[in-house]
Amino acid sequence: MPAEVAAKSSGPVPHSSLASQHIRLTSHASGHGALPIHWGAATAAERGPVVGTTTKRSHRNVIGTHSGSYSVYRALAIASGALSPRHKADLTNTSPTDLIGPYPQWSEPGRIVSLDPWGAAVADVFSSELAAGYDIRPTIAVTKAHVILPEVIEALQSGRLKADGKYLTAGGGALVTKAAIEPVWYLPEVARRFGCSETDLRRVLFEETGGMYPELVTRSDLEVFLPPIGGQTIYIFGNPQDLANPAVELTARVHDECNGSDVFGSDICTCRPYLTHAIEECIQGAQRGGVGLVAYSRKEGRALGEVTKFLVYNARKRQVGGDTADQYFARTECVAGVQDMRFQELMPDVLSWLGVRKIHRLVSMSNMKFDAIIKAGIEIGERVNIPDSLIPEDARVEMDAKMAAGYFTPGPVPDAAELKKAKGRELDA
């Protein structure tokens, strides 16, 4: 088999020799060596490892490969000769700083379908398979950090937060445990979450990625897919093991990426103020004996992408009558065909991975997030919304539109006349 012959040589592969290799098709079962996956099994040994490596094709037991969207950069690194296709990760000293689970949710039927609950612990739970030569990569990494945000420093200076040296330093550094999580989809249950057949899901994934993964339609025996999309990052304030204890107060926000606001401070939406307000609430929660959690999903611009998002901004601000709340969702739908593609159906999996049974304080106004969390069997106590003083002027359009659409608010819901008022700034103002 050409793949195996190629795998015997070592060292970086120059361009020219890549071009002359046979293309390694993945659409036929390679026969021997691949370990079975029994998704949702109670122990790691029964479940089996997720093997998405491209170094030894016959060991693969999934569709797709590691690192989500960054798998394409890996291909570029190999194409340019910078990376050997046979590189095997040296995982010395990379093990998680904190143990997460195992929790009963890990094997509850259909509870976790879009990440590998054993993904952080592969070096430990699959040590014998690793010793036998299987290239098993972690899909989750857990580490520690200090996060320093200007809003937290401002809260310290104004007295809303107090440094304690344990959860918050005098310089405004919040001590966190954080984890990066790559998507690992168990296709039969992902299909069930979205109310379609597995066959239809596989066919549409194949077609809408331009035929990127033929095994979606040729290999029904492979049920696990590593999709080329962004993953999630979680930030934990306090003891990670307290997340699974419903007696410990949990303050949580599930946040969807918005680069324009989160990173660059654009004032057209409330994303960063909501995020930093949630972080302040999480720190306070940890300080009073609870635990805080921010789960951050890479779903830029309602998962429509940033190009679509910026097109919508222009459409909103150039329409007759100006940027009004009553046209907020309609303008998105005109450009994208839908109002939102975030589909919160898969979001609660990360909460189940952390063992969460109850969120005492959910910092969010989104009904879609609320409904998805409840549907996942997680209880929600209080809902905490963003204080009015933190809403940028240009973001009033978004807030009014969302409240009118049924998003959570403890205050009055704007009426039809209010929604027709142009509140957004003009494009060149």
CB of 310 to Zn ion, least distance (A): 12
Q: Is 160 a catalytic residue?
A: no
DSSP code of 411?
Answer: S
CB of 294 to Zn ion, least distance (A): 15
Q: Quick one: 269 or 351, whose CB is closer to Zn ion? A: 269
CB of 240 to Zn ion, least distance (A): 28
Active-site residue (options: 256, 262, 323, 340): 340
User: Segment near Zn ion (CB under 5 A), from 27-35, 155-163, 199-207, 252-260?
Assistant: 252-260
User: Segment near Zn ion (CB under 5 A), from 110-118, 260-268, 324-332, 407-415?
Assistant: 260-268
CB of 293 to Zn ion, least distance (A): 20
Sorted by sequence, the CB contacts under 8 Å of residue 212 that are 6+ apart come out as 206, 228
CB of 322 to Zn ion, least distance (A): 20
Q: Quick one: 92 or 264, whose CB is closer to Zn ion? A: 264
Tell me if 401 contacts Zn ion by CB under 5 A.
no
Query: For residue 189, what are its two tokens?
Result: 């249950």
User: Segment near Zn ion (CB under 5 A), from 51-59, 232-240, 267-275, 368-376?
Assistant: 267-275
Q: Quick one: 103 or 328, whose CB is closer to Zn ion? A: 328
Among 115, 234, 269, 386, binds Zn ion (CB under 5 A): 269
Q: Is 428 a catalytic residue?
A: no
Active-site residue (options: 342, 357, 361, 396): 342
Q: Quick one: 168 or 271, whose CB is closer to Zn ion? A: 271
CA distances to 52, 183, 206, 366 from 210, in Å: 21, 20, 7, 33
DSSP-assigned states of every residue in 175-234? EEEEEEE---EEHHHHHHHTTS-HHHHHHHHHHHTTS--THHHH-TT--EEE-SS--EEE
CA distances to 1, 42, 251, 328, 375 from 246, in Å: 54, 22, 12, 38, 17
Q: Restricting to residues 338-377, name those near Zn ion by CB under 5 A.
A: none
Among 176, 258, 335, 362, binds Zn ion (CB under 5 A): 258
Q: Quick one: 261 or 287, whose CB is closer to Zn ion? A: 261
Number of residues that bind Zn ion (CB under 5 A): 4
User: Segment near Zn ion (CB under 5 A), from 65-73, 181-189, 270-278, 332-340?
Assistant: 270-278
Tell me if 261 contacts Zn ion by CB under 5 A.
yes
CB of 306 to Zn ion, least distance (A): 10
User: Segment near Zn ion (CB under 5 A), from 144-152, 220-228, 250-258, 292-300?
Assistant: 250-258
**Amino acid at residue number 250:** L
DSSP-assigned states of every residue in 91-156? -TT-S-SS-----GGGGSTTT--SS-TTTT-HHHHTHHHHHTT-----SEEEEEEEEE-HHHHHHH
Q: Quick one: 129 or 262, whose CB is closer to Zn ion? A: 262
CA distances to 14, 58, 217, 370 from 80, in Å: 8, 25, 30, 46
Name which of 107, 102, 146 is nearest 120 in CA terms.
Answer: 102
Q: Restricting to residues 24-63, name those near Zn ion by CB under 5 A.
A: none
CA angle 320, 322, 323 (to 5 degrees): 130
What is the dihedral sign for C-alpha 296, 298, 302, 305?
Answer: positive
CA distances to 148, 282, 391 from 157, in Å: 14, 18, 20
Q: Which residues pair with 176 in a beta bridge?
A: 145
Query: For residue 98, what are its two tokens?
Result: 């904190």
User: Segment near Zn ion (CB under 5 A), from 127-135, 240-248, 262-270, 412-420?
Assistant: 262-270
Phi-psi region of 362 (alpha: psi -120 to 50; beta: other; left: phi over 0): beta
CB of 303 to Zn ion, least distance (A): 13
CB of 112 to Zn ion, least distance (A): 28
Q: Quick one: 132 or 427, whose CB is closer to Zn ion? A: 427
- Give the β-pairing of 358-363 and 250-256: parallel
Among 243, 271, 295, 403, binds Zn ion (CB under 5 A): 271
Supply φ then ψ for residue 347, to 5 degrees: -55, -40
Cβ-based neighbour number of residue 258 at 10 Å = 23
Angstrom distance (rounded) from CA 16 to CA 101: 47
Q: Quick one: 356 or 386, whose CB is closer to Zn ion? A: 386
Sorted by sequence, the CB contacts under 8 Å of residue 154 that are 6+ apart come out as none
Interacting residue ranges for Zn ion, rule: CB under 5 A:
258, 261, 269, 271
Give the residue numbers marked as catalytic: 340, 342
